[in-house]
Amino acid sequence: MIQTYLTFITAISLSGIAAFYSVIGLAQIFPGSFWPIVIMGSVLEIAKLVTVSWLYNNWHDTARWMRFYFSIAVVILMLITSMGIFGFLSKAHIETNVVSNDNTVQLRTIEQQETIVKNRLNYLLKKAGDDPSKISRNTDKDIRAAQQELAELNKQKLPLLKEENKLSAEIGPIKYIAELIYGKTDTDVIDKAVRIVILMIIIVFDPLAILLLIAFNQSYRRKETLDTRYDSDIQSYIKVPKKDVFEMK
């Protein structure tokens, strides 16, 4: 009894979460019509669950063409849900990549500026020579300006390095898994690993919710059958005269 309703609660929970991810993902695919897509996606998700439950309970009493259409509709709706989930999770990964890439670009720009300033400073130091007394006022001024510029660049680079370490820690687990599968030579290991993880989530998300809903209907129908038999046996026992019951004993 508890397991039957636990199956139902799990199926509805999975379906609800899948529907949420799917609807948001579809709305992000069509950002120009956010609320119409949300309403349409929500109604389609509810229709899918109702169709699965109704089709299971009325399979033998339904016309063949209706069974065929309902089955195809459920499969297509599952694919739409999976596509929405894929879009939702992919967007989350892309947003992380955008932040990471932006941070990396800023770091590379500062490092290039540092290289230019260091080369200029080395040139000025060679020009000045080993004798400080022979350094001209303009050369000394240029050297101090270059050193000051390097210090400023280091200040700008420090928070970017901290953010880079933070982002590296966040993607660390998936990075290790990706390198384990594809090796360290592949430059797109993280993107490939993320796609595999998303596909694995899709496989066990909406299909599992649908199968759990079918399992609930199956368990509930079996329970009703047993309850009916039990009630029938009780009624038969009540209708037997007491004399016949004692004789049977």
pLDDT band at residue 186 under the 50/70/90 scheme: low
| Closest residue by Cα to residue 153 from 105, 117, 104, 99 | 117
Question: How far apart, in whole angstroms, are the C-alpha atoms of residue 210 and residue 206?
Answer: 6
Question: How far apart, in whole angstroms, are the C-alpha atoms of residue 115 and residue 95?
Answer: 30
* Three-point CA angle 24, 27, 32, nearest 5°: 155
Work out the percent of the chain whose per-residue pLDDT is above 70. 79
Residue 205, amino acid? F
Name the more confident of 147 and 54: 54
pLDDT band at residue 65 under the 50/70/90 scheme: very high
The predicted structure's pLDDT at residue 249:
46
Instruction: Say if residues 149 and 117 touch (Cβ distance below 8 Å).
Output: yes
pLDDT band at residue 170 under the 50/70/90 scheme: low
For residue range 102-135, what is the model confidence (pLDDT) as tens digits? 788 888 888 888 888 888 888 777 776 655 555 6
CA 163 to chain centre: 23
Question: How far apart, in whole angstroms, are the C-alpha atoms of residue 157 and residue 108?
Answer: 10
φ, ψ (nearest 5 deg) of residue 240: -75, 130
Residue 184, amino acid? K
Using the predicted structure, report yes or no on whether residue 148 has a pLDDT greater than 50: yes
Average pLDDT over all residues of the chain: 81
The predicted structure's pLDDT at residue 20:
92
3-class secondary structure, 231: helix
For residue range 44-58, what is the model confidence (pLDDT) as tens digits? 999 999 999 999 989
Q: Select the highest-mean-pLDDT range: 20-34, 172-186, 190-204.
A: 20-34
CA 74 vs CA 14, 71, 103: distances in Å:
16, 5, 44
| Closest residue by Cα to residue 220 from 59, 57, 12 | 57
Residue 249, amino acid? K
Question: How far apart, in whole angstroms, are the C-alpha atoms of residue 39 and residue 27?
Answer: 10
